[in-house]
Structure 1
Amino acid sequence: MSTQSAALSGLARTNLREQALSALRQAISTGELPPGTHLVEVDLSERLGISRGTLREAMRQLQQEGIVSTNARGRLAVRTLDAKEVADLFIVRAALESAAAQTLCEREDRDEIVSVLRETLRMMDEAVESSLEERIETDLNFHLTLCRLTGNATLLHSWRNLEGAIRMSFMWAGEAKAVGNMRVDRHAAIVDAIEAGDGETARAVVLDHMAEASANLVRG
């Protein structure tokens, strides 16, 4: 991978922590830093052109997000998942996002909510021919928006705590399976159910969506 195209290729001198976070997430999402990779502080700080202190701040954030973890030797590494962890993750996601969909069906401003969600679908559709990273971001944006629009801060915070693991589930399963879960029509069905205003149906659609996504990722 060329220095010019790689995520870990040096950063401008503004907002270095946020830029480091973005670069590291991108490197992990694209497989430049695959699951299990030992993260060497000296190497990464040199490649990114930042101080080791700034890098440590970014790494702490990635640990909180569940993207980076401590391995058996006590060293920081890109997190690895197993099939049970992925399945457990989607059980929790299903509980949160089905509750979100049901809540949105009960909102008086449902028409506005549906309009916002359809805009996230448009963004997903536009990203179909884009990079894996872009497709991941638009997919996550749909689900984040679904939770954010509820106005339930606890639900949103709970989903945010899963975001790192969700990213890693894509990398664990591989691009082909991950992309299969990002089909726009699968997500449009959720918006259609919310637009209809039937909470139980919307909840069931999300539960089916998550069950299918989980099965796809862990299959084989």
Structure 2
Amino acid sequence: MSVESTSLLRLEKTSLREQALTALRRAITTGALTPGTHLVETELSEALQISRGTLREAMRQLQQEGLISAGARGRLSVRHLDAKEIADIFDVRAALESLAATLLAARSDRAETAQALRRAVEDMDRWSASNLEDRIEADLRFHRTMCQLTGNETLVHSWSSLEGSIRMSIMFAGVDRALKNMDVHRHLAIVDAIEAGDGTAAAATVREHMAGAAAVLIDA
């Protein structure tokens, strides 16, 4: 087999893995696969029309993202979060994103930074009448963008490592509660504080945002 054909096969396999990963991630974060659901390789590989080897690769990634977990005898199932885990996730998010807000508020180009964040909020508003998956992605893009704009790669990596858990936490209390946390005005308050250049206020706004979001989910 030539080098070229070997490379093409590798790309095809990667593509299938990514497609499977996207489909499974969507099913979990939208609730189509509910917490506690056992993931049976034979059933999933048949449903997705992929090999069990490719499926295992996708599921390993989902484990790393915190969307699925291993139980007795290594059986994989959709991760179930409890109230304490939700509170812990939002505490860590608050620490990371308040740091991001503090750094952004101190920048000399914070006006341009604020414009980029406002575009992310506008994107949230644009998707507000769309399906749940699109709205979740728009919400996550805002928070991810805030971290990325700092230029602090360690901060971005730390936030990204939580993304799977963040996705799970969004759906913890159901669709209605999840959508309540995607209110555009709550996100604009963060942007306003950053643009004002007051790092202390910006950090406090983020912490209040996260505490409120966690309360909406946990109080349910």
TM over 0.5: yes
CA contact (8 A) 1:35 1:172 kept: no
CA contact (8 A) 2:66 2:164 kept: yes
1:173 to partner: Cα distance: 1.4
CA contact (8 A) 2:13 2:54 kept: no
CA contact (8 A) 1:121 1:187 kept: yes
In 2, distance between residues paired with 1:16 and 1:113? 37
In the TM superposition, 1:159-174 aligns within 5 A as: 159-174=159-174
In the TM superposition, 1:1-220 aligns within 5 A as: 15-220=15-220
Change (3 A) 1:14 1:76: closer
CA contact (8 A) 1:117 1:145 kept: yes
CA contact (8 A) 1:35 1:171 kept: no
1:73 to partner: Cα distance: 4.7
Letter in 1 for 2:215: A
| Residues 178-215 of structure 1: per-residue CA shift (max 9 Å, x gap) | 11000000001000111111101101100100010011
| Residues 101-126 of structure 1: per-residue CA shift (max 9 Å, x gap) | 00001112212211111111011001
**SS of aligned partner of 1:69:** strand
In 2, distance between residues paired with 1:63 and 1:16? 18
| Residues 13-57 of structure 1: per-residue CA shift (max 9 Å, x gap) | 871111111111111122111111101111111111111111111
**SS of aligned partner of 1:173:** coil
**SS of aligned partner of 2:171:** helix
1:154 to partner: Cα distance: 0.8
Greater percentage in helix: 2
TM-score by length of 2: 0.92
Letter in 2 for 1:144: R
Letter in 1 for 2:214: S
CA RMSD of aligned residues (A): 1.3
Runs of 4+ in structure 1 deviating by more than 3 angstroms, as ranges, are: none
CA contact (8 A) 1:111 1:195 kept: yes
In 2, distance between residues paired with 1:180 and 1:34? 20
TM-score by length of 1: 0.92
In 2, distance between residues paired with 1:73 and 1:53? 19
CA contact (8 A) 1:39 1:77 kept: yes
In 2, distance between residues paired with 1:129 and 1:69? 33
| Number of residues of Structure 1 aligned to a counterpart in Structure 2 | 209
In 2, distance between residues paired with 1:110 and 1:63? 37
**SS of aligned partner of 1:172:** coil
**SS of aligned partner of 2:212:** helix
